[in-house]
Amino acid sequence: MKKIATWTVLALATSLAGCTGAAYSNSSLDSVHQPVVRNAIYQFDVAAANGELPPGEQGRLQGWFDAMGVRYGDRISIEDPSVYGATSAQATVRSMVGRRGLLVTNDVPVTTGAVPQGHLRVIVTRASASVPGCPNWDSKSAINLANSTSSNYGCASNSNLAAMVADPNDLIKGARNEGNDPSMATRAIKTFREKPPTGAGELRGEKTSEGGGQ
């Protein structure tokens, strides 16, 4: 497992350039503190024998997925340098990813080094979001001649947004419309209606010993 690269992209529309100075003279209701999204790329090479992914390599890949804690929001892709493509091996990887409730994307990022002959490269791109410089109470003062907003303005709401968003890349560009899926649209309501509430079971009776005083 190797951390290959990290790059930074500004989320939403507000630039963070000159953020420190802007926090002292921001007279608008737009916060200068905006989420920043970082993407880290991880790669893992597996050997494909005659276009197939042997059980031993499947075990290695499964262990790597477990160690990485692959989850929703991770973008998984496959790089296959073979001339004709290891179709069966790719299908096995897609099946392993699918059992984790994820999909393999066709967007393959640039990685480090060439893929060895007879191997596939499985790539996990993981995004994280945070709001740098928060909290920021430096310019908070009772005297505000510039009629500016607090230097900490927007820190709480945007930090919460960065912490709660399932896929931080959605802060840069919203999720693509994959078509109207009624089951997807009603999943939250279905879960809310069918999941039994906590404490719905009967209370258990606990027998207590009776103490006698002398």
* β-strand pairing of 36-47 with 75-79: unpaired
Contact 125, 75 (CB under 8 A): yes
- Where are the strands (E) in the chain, listed by range? 2-10, 36-47, 75-79, 119-130
Query: Residue 74: helix, strand or coil by DSSP?
Result: coil
Alpha-carbon torsion 155, 31, 29, 135, what sign? positive
pTM value > 0.75: no
27 pLDDT more than 70: yes
Cβ-in-10-Å burial (0-12, 13-18, 19+) of 168 comes to buried
Tell me: the pLDDT tens digits for 103-135? 899 889 989 899 998 899 999 999 999 999 898
Q: In this predicted structure, which of 21-30, 111-120, 122-131, 147-156 has the lowest mean pLDDT?
A: 21-30
- Output the average pLDDT for the chain: 79
Does residue 74 come out as left (phi exceeding 0), alpha (psi in the -120 to 50 range) or beta?
A: beta
Going from N- to C-terminal start, the domains of the chain cover 2-190
Residues 6+ positions from 200 with CB-CB distance below 8 Å: none
Whether cis (ω within 30° of 0) applies to the bond prior to 135 is: yes
